[in-house]
Chains A and B, each alone.
Chain A
Amino acid sequence: MPAPLLDVSGLRVSFAADGGRSTAIQDVSFNVGAGEVLSIVGESGSGKTLSLLSVLGLIDRRTTFVEGRALFNGRDLFTLPPRELRRIRGAGIALISQDPMTALTPVFTIGDQIAEQILAHEKVSRRAARARAVDLLREVGIPSPEEAVRRFPHQLSGGMRQRAVIAMALSCNPALLIADEPTTALDVTVQAQVLDLLRRLRRDHGSSIVLITHDMGVVAEMADRVMVMYAGRVVEGGTVREIFEDPWHPYSWGLMNSIPPVRGAKPARLVSIPGTPPTPQDIPPGCAFAPRCRLRRPACAAPPPRQEAGGHQALCLIEAAERPGLRAGLWTAEGTAA
């Protein structure tokens, strides 16, 4: 197996809080191979975005402490001097951020902002950079790109802005795209278009994509592999097939149960996971999910074991043999409650 493009191991992110550090990301490891789509799912506040921003060094270094290792093409991003890291940002790894309404600087034209990124990484003329900006906008499906380069962000609709952000991310042919909930802020029809676009880009350019989302539908459609995060920990990871057909962790069960079934009897109401994720300050010492877990046992007060089989892994003490029964029980218990 060739070395993965991005290999993150033992990532730990903590903030300075009154009376010590509060750890937001604990022992997160993952890798992304060339041309692969890794999807990171979890509720808001589970540390999906923070993990990736930490890898890119886009967090406030004054208040945030990052430990671990993040190898990109064999070079550790955490120990690179700022200059070198800047060369990778934008050119090797590009970021598509969540909200296209606020992701572009309001006072510069779309063309300026795309050309700026090209000029930051390549020795080309201003005119050539500008011409490439037009080509990129055409590629992401913006109508009349010659005119769009002269537009300011506020003159474009949300979908068009997200396309412009994607065009900008693609401008230096990055090997890895990090898409942070790229469709959350968009209308449903535009969402589908943007996902199509991402899929096409992956096919045409062979880029790897890290897709951060909380939409399981998007995961099923796009991902090769899935990583489920909860309270700053990876609670389950595996191929998209493994996660959808045989999830191991009760939290993943909860996520799956929140998708309405397409075939068969529809439940009276969708099952939700009660409660909210803990804040970094009050993550329990044992299993982080235990307080919200219906299958909680006394042993959950201790840190849960990591179970592995092939590439599939989960952070839970439930044994393989007990899983089907417990999961079915969760359904019926919920059914009678509803």
Chain B
Amino acid sequence: MIAAVLQRLVQMAFVMFGISVLVFLIFFATPGADPAARLAGRNASPETVQQIRHEFGFDRPLPVQYAIMMKKLFITQDLTSFVNRGEKVVPEILAAAPATLSLVAGAALLWVLGGLFVGVISAATRGSWLDRSLMILALIGISMPVFWLASMANLVTQSAYHDSWAFSWVPELGYTPLTKNPLRWFQGLVIPWLTLATLYVGIYGRVLRANLIETLQEDYIRTARAKGLSETRVLLRHGLRTSLAAFVTMFGLDFGSLVGGAALLTEVLFGINGVGRLTYIALGNLDLPMILASVMYASFFVVGANAVVDILYAVIDPRVRKE
């Protein structure tokens, strides 16, 4: 078991190396474009471009360029943004990460619990009005675009009903660090959490329902019933555990990409200074160092989350474990 985990972690390191090479090549080895000029951003002076060319080694072979770039990203962490006049990119992303992590982790907790609830209840009562209404609600959740839902949530909680008893506790948009004021942190994130989780509750609930219903046709479910176990125990112990594969896979991908910045719309609309918002601004300014660093950061999170998922598989299903 431990050997399998270690093996998976080594694999992960290789995948991350591969990604870093690929990202580097896409950004700096695309033919027909001067990487120094692109790094410098719009309207940069020729002196700046010349300085960048020398500093990043763009006049030297590609492997050297790659090494310099990786050194600047991971070791000295002094890759600077030229658009933002010397702002260091890596510390900026690291500073934004807690906000994103707070947003995504809270939403993830909500959507996992919500997805489990919707999936299990629907599968257990399949065909009933309860099942049908839950599935319709889930479909509505999936269909609402996050930018619309977030705008609506803001409209209701920030302006239209902000003075009513229901939403007067909602602080103004923005993120308060957990360490500074835990209550404010929580209050400020409740609406973003709910908004972000809505879509995923719908997807996860529907997927789990489908998998559970399929599992409930299995012979071993009949064996479990024939043993005289209660219906709840059959469903939760024998049915649910074997139906979780798709659920866990999706969770790894979604969580990784959201922490990596895919919660961009939610962050922008709720004014949370997270990685997604940083990427969004960098894209607007063509701030290449920032885009490079955030792409790298995002892909590492996706890879890491997938490694965790693989380890979770082995915990859930003994058939995956190596002898």
Give the distance in Å from the alpha carbon of A98 to the alpha carbon of B318 in the complex: 23
Interface residues of B in 198-230 (CB under 8 A from A): 218-220, 222-230
Question: What residues of chain A lie closer than 8 Å to B228, measured between beta carbons?
Answer: 86-91, 117, 120-121
Report whether B229 and A107 are in contact in the complex, using a CB–CB cutoff of 8 Å. Answer: no
Give the distance in Å from the alpha carbon of A107 to the alpha carbon of B219 in the complex: 14
Question: What residues of chain A lie closer than 8 Å to B134, measured between beta carbons?
Answer: none
Question: What residues of chain A lie closer than 8 Å to B225, measured between beta carbons?
Answer: 58, 89
Q: Does B284 count as interface, using CB distance less than 8 angstroms?
A: no
26 contacts between A and B (CB under 8 A): A56-B226, A87-B228, A88-B228, A89-B227, A89-B228, A90-B228, A94-B226, A99-B219, A102-B220, A103-B220, A103-B222, A103-B223, A105-B220, A105-B223, A105-B224, A105-B242, A106-B220, A106-B242, A106-B318, A107-B242, A107-B317, A107-B319, A116-B227, A116-B229, A120-B229, A121-B228
Chain B contact-residue range equals 20 to 34
Report whether B319 and A154 are in contact in the complex, using a CB–CB cutoff of 8 Å. Answer: yes
Between A and B, how many residue pairs show CB distances below 8 Å? 73
Q: Does A62 count as interface, using CB distance less than 8 angstroms?
A: yes
Report whether A90 and B220 are in contact in the complex, using a CB–CB cutoff of 8 Å. Answer: no
Question: What residues of chain B lie closer than 8 Å to A121, measured between beta carbons?
Answer: 228
Q: What 0/1 pattern do residues 83 to 116 of A give for CB contact below 8 A with B?
A: 0001111110011011100111111100000001
Give the shortest distance, in Å, between B273 (CB) and chain A (any CB): 43
Question: What residues of chain A lie closer than 8 Å to B316, measured between beta carbons?
Answer: 107
Report whether A62 and B220 are in contact in the complex, using a CB–CB cutoff of 8 Å. Answer: no
Report whether A90 and B241 are in contact in the complex, using a CB–CB cutoff of 8 Å. Answer: no
Q: Does A244 count as interface, using CB distance less than 8 angstroms?
A: no
Q: Does A228 count as interface, using CB distance less than 8 angstroms?
A: no
Question: What residues of chain A lie closer than 8 Å to B231, measured between beta carbons?
Answer: 82
Give the shortest distance, in Å, between A115 (CB) and chain B (any CB): 11
Report whether B319 and A106 are in contact in the complex, using a CB–CB cutoff of 8 Å. Answer: yes
Give the distance in Å from the alpha carbon of A106 to the alpha carbon of B215 in the complex: 12
Q: Does B184 count as interface, using CB distance less than 8 angstroms?
A: no
Report whether A154 and B318 are in contact in the complex, using a CB–CB cutoff of 8 Å. Answer: yes
Q: Does A176 count as interface, using CB distance less than 8 angstroms?
A: no
Given pairs A103-B223, A105-B223, A120-B227, 11 additional interface contacts (CB within 8 A): A58-B226, A86-B230, A89-B228, A90-B227, A95-B226, A99-B219, A102-B220, A103-B220, A117-B229, A165-B223, A168-B223
Q: What 0/1 pattern do residues 167 to 197 of B give for CB contact below 8 A with A?
A: 0000000000000000000000000000000
Interface residues of B in 302-318 (CB under 8 A from A): 316-318
Report whether B230 and A97 are in contact in the complex, using a CB–CB cutoff of 8 Å. Answer: no
Give the shortest distance, in Å, between B144 (CB) and chain A (any CB): 32
Nearest to A102 among chain B residues (CB) is B219
Give the distance in Å from the alpha carbon of A107 to the alpha carbon of B230 in the complex: 19
Give the shortest distance, in Å, between A242 (CB) and chain B (any CB): 31
Nearest to B221 among chain A residues (CB) is A105
Which 10 residue pairs spanning A and B have beta carbons closest together? A90-B228, A95-B226, A102-B219, A89-B228, A90-B227, A117-B227, A152-B318, A105-B220, A86-B228, A103-B223
Nearest to A172 among chain B residues (CB) is B228
Q: Does B53 count as interface, using CB distance less than 8 angstroms?
A: no
Nearest to B231 among chain A residues (CB) is A82
Residues of A within 8 A of B (CB): 53, 56, 58, 62, 82, 86-91, 94-95, 97-99, 102-108, 116-117, 120-121, 152, 154, 165, 168
Q: What 0/1 pattern do residues 87 to 129 of B give for CB contact below 8 A with A?
A: 0000000000000000000000000000000000000000100
Name the contact of A105 in the complex, choosing from B127, B226, B238 (C-beta under 8 A): B238
Report whether A89 and B238 are in contact in the complex, using a CB–CB cutoff of 8 Å. Answer: no
Report whether B127 and A62 are in contact in the complex, using a CB–CB cutoff of 8 Å. Answer: yes
Question: What residues of chain A lie closer than 8 Å to B220, measured between beta carbons?
Answer: 102-106
Question: What residues of chain B lie closer than 8 Å to A120, measured between beta carbons?
Answer: 227-229
Nearest to B217 among chain A residues (CB) is A60
Question: What residues of chain B lie closer than 8 Å to A62, measured between beta carbons?
Answer: 127
Give the shortest distance, in Å, between A105 (CB) and chain B (any CB): 4
Nearest to A104 among chain B residues (CB) is B220
Report whether B318 and A107 are in contact in the complex, using a CB–CB cutoff of 8 Å. Answer: yes
Question: What residues of chain A lie closer than 8 Å to B241, measured between beta carbons?
Answer: 107
Give the shortest distance, in Å, between A59 (CB) and chain B (any CB): 10
Contacts known (A102-B218, A102-B219, A152-B319); A89 close to B226, Cβ less than 8 A: yes
Give the shortest distance, in Å, between B106 (CB) and chain A (any CB): 30
Report whether B223 and A95 are in contact in the complex, using a CB–CB cutoff of 8 Å. Answer: yes
Q: What 0/1 pattern do residues 227 to 246 of B give for CB contact below 8 A with A?
A: 11111000000100110000
Give the shortest distance, in Å, between A111 (CB) and chain B (any CB): 13
Name the contact of A97 in the complex, choosing from B222, B229, B318 (C-beta under 8 A): B222
Give the distance in Å from the alpha carbon of A165 to the alpha carbon of B222 in the complex: 13
Question: What residues of chain B lie closer than 8 Å to A102, measured between beta carbons?
Answer: 218-220
Question: What residues of chain B lie closer than 8 Å to A105, measured between beta carbons?
Answer: 220, 223-224, 238, 242
Report whether A103 and B317 are in contact in the complex, using a CB–CB cutoff of 8 Å. Answer: no
Interface residues of B in 151-178 (CB under 8 A from A): none
Give the distance in Å from the alpha carbon of A165 to the alpha carbon of B238 in the complex: 16
Nearest to A83 among chain B residues (CB) is B230
Question: What residues of chain B lie closer than 8 Å to A117, measured between beta carbons?
Answer: 227-229
Nearest to A59 among chain B residues (CB) is B222
Question: What residues of chain A lie closer than 8 Å to B226, measured between beta carbons?
Answer: 56, 58, 89-90, 94-95, 97
Nearest to B220 among chain A residues (CB) is A105
Give the distance in Å from the alpha carbon of A167 to the alpha carbon of B220 in the complex: 15
Q: Which of B230, B238, B241 has the most CB of A within 10 A?
A: B238
Give the distance in Å from the alpha carbon of A90 to the alpha carbon of B127 in the complex: 29
Give the shortest distance, in Å, between A51 (CB) and chain B (any CB): 15
Give the shortest distance, in Å, between B227 (CB) and chain A (any CB): 4
Give the distance in Å from the alpha carbon of A99 to the alpha carbon of B223 in the complex: 11
Name the contact of B219 in the complex, choosing from A82, A86, A97 (C-beta under 8 A): A97
Give the shortest distance, in Å, between B306 (CB) and chain A (any CB): 21
Question: What residues of chain A lie closer than 8 Å to B229, measured between beta carbons?
Answer: 86, 90, 116-117, 120
Interface residues of B in 20-66 (CB under 8 A from A): none
Q: Which of B218, B228, B241, B319 has the most CB of A within 10 A?
A: B228
Interface residues of B in 270-323 (CB under 8 A from A): 316-319
